Structure 1
Amino acid sequence: MDQLDRRIIAALQANARASTTQIATTLGVARTTVHERINRMEQRGLIEGYSVRLGSTEDTPKVQVIVMLEVQQKETSRIIKRLEAYPEVKLCLSINGEFDLMLSAEAPRLEDLDILVDDLAKIPGVLRTNTSVVFGRRIDRN
């Protein structure tokens, strides 16, 4: 993957519905070049699909937190199963370092997330948590 492929992917991440002509014009390359490169990246599995990103409506603002969990290693699979039951948890990543899992969670009110974090800390095998409130998204390619 070269710099042009990365620029094409960035354009698709910004707007997956953009035509190859629009992307080519933006990047200053031929439409056929963009078309061939997208096809090649799809065939190689670099691009697995396209999706829709839903916006939030004005009447349902969301508060987001990042929760770091330190867990007993032998309990990790069971804890992840428990996490799946919380609709507020939108993402769970296994990480290295001081903590073992990183969660992204969303809810309409900060109070709802406060209750969630308290519940997470009570799960057997969770040794400790560290929570940060997200103030804003600076780069979001999801």
Structure 2
Amino acid sequence: MNVDDTERRIVNALLADGRASPRDISGATGIAEPTVSQRIDQLETRGVIEGYEPRIDYESLGYDVTAVFQLTIDGDGLPGVPERLGDAEQMIGVYEVTGSHDVVAIGKFTDTAAMNARIKELMTDDDITAVETSVVLNTVTEYGQFRVEGE
């Protein structure tokens, strides 16, 4: 999907402050406020901007354990397993991948008992043939976004 320089500047302003008003974005980019409003509407309609969400620090809410699950799926289990994981509570990322595993999923848990319960669910799923779990020791960066560069 192509975006022009004006849209790119608006997207980057929103990445810097997702709560910025069209007036704020206009001031930061030099793009006229009505143009900013119109372009944001167009970006939303085209699906470039998918929505606006708060970023939650789950650790501050008691979700101290982050786990990365690498799953090997029985051939008939795709796409069912990734869809189920994507709908599961506490799973913040689910990816179909290439390599020695079929799915990588990331979950947040209040404690190791909650994480172990999820591991047991995965291990008893008939569509999953293998589960490898890594517990995150230190989060360096999370929910990263990056500025959109020009072509």
1:79 aligned to 55, 68, 81, which one? 81
**Cα distance in 2 between the residues matched to 1:57 and 1:80:** 25
Which region of structure 1 is more displaced relative to structure 2, 112-121 or 52-61?
A: 52-61
TM-score by length of 2: 0.69
Residues 125/139 of structure 1: CA separation in 2 closer, same or farther (3 Å cut): closer
Unaligned runs of 5+ in 2: 146-151
- Aligned-pair identity in percent equals 25
Q: How many residues align?
A: 142
Letter in 1 for 2:126: P
Provide the residue aligned with 1:2 in structure 2: 4
Letter in 2 for 1:120: L
Match of 1:140? Answer: 143
Q: Which residue of 2 aligns with 1:63?
A: 65
Quote how far apart the aligned CAs of 1:113 are: 1.5
39-48 vs 79-88, which moves further: 79-88
1:101-141 per-residue CA deviation (whole Å, 9 max, x = no partner) reads 12121111234323422431232232222323332252525
Give, in whole Å, the separation in 2 of the partners of 1:10 and 1:139. Answer: 18
- Secondary structure, aligned partner of 1:129: strand
Code of the aligned partner of 1:16: G
1:127 paired residue number: 129
Q: Which moved more, 1:46-55 or 1:124-133?
A: 46-55
Assess, with a 3 A threshold, how the Cα gap between structure 1 residues 137 and 22 changes in structure 2: closer, same or farther.
farther
Q: Secondary structure at the match of 2:98?
A: coil
- The whole-number CA distance in structure 1 between the counterparts of 2:106 and 2:49 is 24
In the alignment, is the contact (CA less than 8 A) between 1:14 and 1:141 conserved in 2? no
Instruction: Give the CA deviation at 1:72.
Output: 0.7
Distance in 2 of aligned mates of 1:11 and 1:30: 14
Map of 1:113 onto structure 2: 115
Taking structure 1 as reference, are residues 63 and 25 closer, same or farther at Cα in structure 2, changes over 3 Å only? farther
The one-letter code sitting in structure 2 at the alignment partner of 1:8 is: I
TM-score with structure 1 length normalisation? 0.72
